[in-house]
Amino acid sequence: MDLRVSYPADGVGLLELDRPHRRNALDRALLDGLPGVLRDLAADDRVRALVLTGRGGAFCAGGDLDAIAGVGVETPAEGRARMTREFATAQLLHDFRVPTVAAVDGPAVGAGLGLALACDLRIGAASSVFSSPFVRMALVPDWGVSWLLPRAVGPARATEIAVSGRKVGAEEALRIGLLDAVVADPLAEAVSRASALAAAPLAVSVATKRLVNGVGSLAEGIAGEIEAQLRAIGSVEFGRRMAEWTQAVRGR
């Protein structure tokens, strides 16, 4: 599994997606393995703040095409079970007991956008690009994006970004609240901020995060996404648009 775990500063855990040749797109091994790694890190007493990033100039380009190739041929029960397993990663990251910081360099697309949004803070490079391209495949946003994006940028902007599927660059992302800072070295800045957060009394940090995240329910949002996505996958439009999207991505 292409994941790296390290401890770059006292109290700070660093989780790196390590598939730079695929812009850190989530293959089957990552989709299956990420929940367990996040659970292990959450139980690690050394980790009082967590940094999530992708190696090689990309945060995460979403689901690897080879991993999602069978989406259109699943039964509804199979699709519901798969999405429940996979989207648990966003839930685990959002509910992570201590503060989390995403260091975003390059694309954070689809599921990658969900991962970034599930973190408490997002530090980006000038090259950061965010996108919710699901609509181009005749799909609805998933990985918690439909619930998390409005809480970051407001419902009106979230609707426009999600329905258009357009790209949001670093400057706009900073202006609308999708990024908290744009710096030359987002990983170094993320580790620095995580280190400062890790210095807080652990019990206070955990309780504060629980209080802040206690309004509303990401779990309910994800459950709604799964049901809407199953309906979208069953549409005629999905097959055509997914084929077009796959051809365009493979042709890049």
**Interacting residues of 177 by C-beta distance below 8 A, sequence separation 6+:** 152, 153, 154
Using DSSP, state whether 240 is helix, strand or coil: helix
For residue 49, tell me if it sits in a domain.
yes
Q: Give dist(CA 167, CA 49) in Å, integer.
A: 29
Strand partners, 103: 53, 123
The predicted structure's pLDDT at residue 229: 82
91: pLDDT strictly greater than 90: yes
Using DSSP, state whether 99 is helix, strand or coil: coil
1: pLDDT strictly greater than 80: no
Q: Give dist(CA 178, CA 201) in Å, integer.
A: 27
For residue 35, tell me if it sits in a domain.
yes
**Which tens digits make up the pLDDT trace of 144-184?**
999 999 999 999 999 999 999 999 999 999 999 999 999 99
For residue 190, tell me if it sits in a domain.
no
**Which tens digits make up the pLDDT trace of 113-126?**
999 999 999 999 99
**Which tens digits make up the pLDDT trace of 175-208?**
999 999 999 999 999 999 999 999 998 888 988 8
**Which tens digits make up the pLDDT trace of 49-60?**
999 999 999 999
Q: Shortest CA distance to 109 belongs to which of 58, 41, 57?
A: 58
For residue 239, tell me if it sits in a domain.
no
216: pLDDT strictly greater than 70: no
The C-alpha R_g of the chain, in whole angstroms, comes to 17
How open is the CA angle 221-5-49, to the nearest 5 degrees?
A: 60
**Which tens digits make up the pLDDT trace of 31-77?**
999 999 999 999 999 999 999 999 999 999 998 877 776 677 788 89
The pLDDT-based confidence of 252 (bands split at 50, 70, 90) is low
Give the residue numbers spanning the domain of 66: 3-185
The predicted structure's pLDDT at residue 178: 98
For residue 238, tell me if it sits in a domain.
no
Average pLDDT (83-101) is 94
DSSP secondary structure code for residue 123 in this structure: E
Counting beta carbons within 10 angstroms of the beta carbon of residue 53, is it exposed (0 to 12), middle (13 to 18) or buried (19 or more)? buried
Number of domains in the chain: 1
Looking up residue 98, the CATH number of its domain turns out to be: 3.90.226.10
16: pLDDT strictly greater than 90: yes
Query: Under a CB-based contact definition with an 8 Å cutoff, are residues 37 and 92 in contact?
Result: no
pLDDT mean across residues, the chain = 92
For residue 208, tell me if it sits in a domain.
no
Q: Give dist(CA 168, CA 60) in Å, integer.
A: 15
For residue 228, tell me if it sits in a domain.
no
For residue 225, tell me if it sits in a domain.
no
The predicted structure's pLDDT at residue 245: 75
